[in-house]
Structures are given as structure tokens and as C-alpha cells.
């Protein structure tokens, strides 16, 4: 479904005195054919302005552009046939998730043919062995992944992982790889799963995926910790900058996991989840002494 945004300058005069001016403001629209008055009201609602006496829009344009989550606009994409959106990549033998890490191998323990001699006639089973690093597919990092004394996968409570309010931030047209703290200021993210929709998942499984990718800056990670987020996820190569310029530093992992905030990397399909209102879940198996493991991440749409 095509999404539209309004671009304009605006002068606002307040009924109790004073005013404000904005330039080249961009605002999500629920549809293309809105009047200037309708757009002005959406603008007021988005900013939460009180005591507005008059709004004058100048240079108004309506453009085709993906929504970013303006208040008062659902930001929802085309209606889904199901209220569930799968946010996980498929794991298969030979899958390269992160360049340089081993791909999973799948081998039989008991083949269907061999099982016929074990079970009653007409009854057969397959039992297979998968060997893989925990950083495979779409996976969750627990604090133990970064810190020897941090909580492992078995320590995570379900209320940290299941039915979290999802706040999706659209960053597909960002001009910089580093995601700054300011992009989160528009919404209350306390207790939420903050999901970073960069669009980098379109390169998953290709050589391009391993190139310098979008990441969360140190200042942004610090801000999210201070705001009390529950979980942070991204559809990119890593929550941190892994380019040579980073010098091996991993401030986003360090800050989030030190605060007990799980990290989910290599998400996909975030474009199918509205900016606000969905519920997010990502649950790994309950493994002691292990820090990272694949999850079946999904969203329940409102």
C-alpha cells in the first residue's frame, strides 16, 4: 500500500499569546486526498499543541513516502491476512548470518528408513542433529553474551520477552548509518520493545549484508537505557558499528546488556508492523550458561 506524507512550512499562533514557526516539516498522512485544514489538524495533534489559535501552512506538498510514526496516524501498512507478522529469518543448513561465523549443519541421527526397524509397521520418524553457533538467523543476546557475570538465557523472565508494546522507528531513508538518540524523543518508550526498521534486512544472505550497516549510536543506547526500555531489536547486521572505524568497540551491546535489556538482531519484515500498537515477542530456549540463541520473533498486530 502506498503511503503519503505532507511536507510544509507552518506558522502557529497560540490563543494565549506567542507562536512558533517550522520549516520543511514532514507529517504522515492516512491518505492522499486531505484538505489543508485536515493536515493542519493532524499537525497539531502530532505535536500535542494546546491553545492553538491559528495555523497557516505554506508550500504544502503531498509526497509518496513511508510513514515514520506520526501521532494520530496508525502508520500501518497494507492490511495483513493474519494478525501475526513473522519477524524471523529462516534457518537452513549453510546459512551465513554474520560473515566469518560458521554456518549451521544439519545431519541425521535416525533416518526414516532406519526407524522402520524400530517402530511398528507403517510408523516412522526422523531425528536430526543441528550444529550451529548461537548467532544464527534472528537471535537474542542476553547479558551473559557480553558479561561473564550477566544473566544467561535461562535467567530471562518471560515478561522480558513476550507481548511487549512494540515501538517501531522507521529509518529506511536515514542519511547516516548511526542512529542518534533524537529519533526516539517523539514517543514514550518506557517498558517497550524498541524496534529499529532500517531496511538492511533486504540484503540478508548476500555479500552486501556484511558491508558497513546501520547501527545504534552510543548516545542513543544510553538514552534508551535511561528511558527504561524493555528490549531493543534491529533488522541490521549488528546493533553496534562493526566497521574498522569502530576499533572493536561495542557500546550499544555494552550499555544495553549491562542494564539487563536483551538485544534482538537480524530481524526482518518490520515494514509490516505499525509504528505503534503491536505486541512483540521473541523467546529463546531456556539454556543455562549460554548467552545467545535464535528466536522465533513475531508481532501481533492491533
C-beta of residue 212 within 8 angstroms of C-beta of residue 173 = no
Q: What is the mean pLDDT of residues 175-182?
A: 92
User: What are the tens digits of pLDDT across the range 50-59?
Assistant: 767 688 999 9
* The residue count for the chain: 302
Q: What mean pLDDT is reported for the chain?
A: 92
At 57, give phi and psi (nearest 5°): -95, 140
* 222 SS3 class: helix
Pairwise CA distance, residues 194 & 168, whole Å: 6
DSSP code string of 55-106: EEEEEEEEEE------TTS----SPPSSSEEE--PPP-TT--SSTTSPPPEE
pLDDT for res 51: 62
For residue 62, pLDDT over 60 is answered with yes
Map out the domains of the chain as residue ranges: 4-64, 139-300
Query: Nearest 5 degrees, angle CA 254-CA 260-CA 262?
Result: 80
Superfamily holding 139-300 = Putative cyclase (3.50.30.50)
Task: Report pTM.
Answer: 0.78
Question: Is residue 76 very low, low, confident or very high in pLDDT (cuts 50, 70, 90)?
Answer: very low
More confident residue, 49 or 92: 92
pLDDT for res 81: 58
Of the listed ranges 123-137, 163-177, 222-236, 255-269, the one predicted with least confidence: 163-177
Query: Nearest 5 degrees, angle CA 132-CA 135-CA 296?
Result: 90
pLDDT for res 78: 47
Q: Is the dihedral of CA 216, 219, 223, 229 positive or negative?
A: positive
User: What are the tens digits of pLDDT across the range 199-249?
Assistant: 999 999 999 999 999 999 999 999 999 999 999 999 999 999 999 999 999
pLDDT for res 163: 98
Q: Cα(first)–Cα(last) distance of the chain, in Å?
A: 18
| 298-300 and 84-86 strand pairing | antiparallel
pLDDT for res 269: 97
pLDDT for res 75: 46
pLDDT for res 116: 96
For the chain, state the CA radius of gyration. Answer: 23
pLDDT > 70: percent of the chain: 95
Buried b (16+ CB within 10 A) or exposed e, 29-49: bbeeebeeeebbebbbebbee
Pairwise CA distance, residues 111 & 108, whole Å: 6
- Residue 122 has what DSSP assignment? T
Question: Is residue 45 very low, low, confident or very high in pLDDT (cuts 50, 70, 90)?
Answer: confident
CB atoms within 10 A of CB 286: 13
In whole angstroms, what separates CA 154 from the centre of its chain? 23
pLDDT for res 72: 61
Contacts 24+ apart (CB under 8 A), 94-101: 95/136, 95/137, 95/205, 96/205, 97/135, 97/136, 97/137, 97/139, 97/266, 98/135, 98/210, 98/237, 98/238, 99/207, 99/209, 99/210, 101/133, 101/135, 101/136
More confident residue, 110 or 68: 110
CB atoms within 10 A of CB 187: 16
Amino acid at each position: 500500500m502506498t503511503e503519503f506524507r505532507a511536507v510544509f512550512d507552518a506558522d502557529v499562533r497560540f490563543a494565549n499569546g506567542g507562536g512558533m514557526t517550522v520549516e520543511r516539516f514532514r507529517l504522515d498522512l492516512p491518505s492522499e486526498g486531505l484538505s489543508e485544514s485536515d493536515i493542519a489538524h493532524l499537525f497539531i495533534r502530532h505535536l500535542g499543541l494546546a491553545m492553538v489559535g491559528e495555523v497557516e501552512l505554506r508550500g504544502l506538498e503531498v509526497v509518496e513516502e513511508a510513514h515514520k510514526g506520526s501521532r494520530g496516524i496508525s502508520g500501518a501498512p497494507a492490511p495483513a491476512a493474519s494478525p501475526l507478522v513473522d519477524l524471523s529469518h529462516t534457518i537452513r543448513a549453510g546459512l551465513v548470518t554474520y560473515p566469518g561465523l560458521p554456518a549451521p549443519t544439519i545431519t541425521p541421527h535416525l533416518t526414516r528408513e532406519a526407524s522402520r526397524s524400530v517402530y511398528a509397521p507403517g510408523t516412522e520418524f526422523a531425528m536430526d542433529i543441528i550444529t550451529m553457533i548461537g548467532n544464527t538467523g534472528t537471535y537474542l543476546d542476553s547479558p551473559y553474551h557480553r558479561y561473564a557475570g550477566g544473566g544467561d538465557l535461562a535467567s530471562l523472565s518471560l515478561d522480558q520477552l513476550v507481548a511487549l508494546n512494540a515501538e517501531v522507528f522507521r529509518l529506511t531513508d536515514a542519511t547516516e548509518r548511526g542512529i542518534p538518540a533524537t529519533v526516539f524523543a517523539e514517543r514514550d518508550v518506557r517498558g517497550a520493545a524498541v524496534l529499529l526498521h532500517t531496511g538492511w534486512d533486504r540484503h540478508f544472505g548476500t555479500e552486501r549484508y556484511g558491508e558497513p550497516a546501520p547501527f545504534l549510536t552510543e548516545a542513543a543506547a544510553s538514552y534508551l537505557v535511561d528511558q527504561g526500555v524493555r528490549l531493543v531489536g534491529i533488522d541490521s547486521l549488528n546493533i553496534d558499528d562493526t566497521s574498522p572505524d569502530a576499533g572493536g568497540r561495542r557500546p550499544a551491546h555494552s550499555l544495553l546488556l549491562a542494564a539487563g535489556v536483551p538485544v534482538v538482531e537480524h530481524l526482518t519484515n518490520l515494514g509490516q508492523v505499525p509504528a505503534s500498537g503491536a505486541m512483540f515477542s521473541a523467546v529463546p530456549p531456556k539454556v543455562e550458561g549460554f548467552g545467545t540463541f535464535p528466536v522465533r520473533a513475531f508481532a501481533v498486530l492491533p
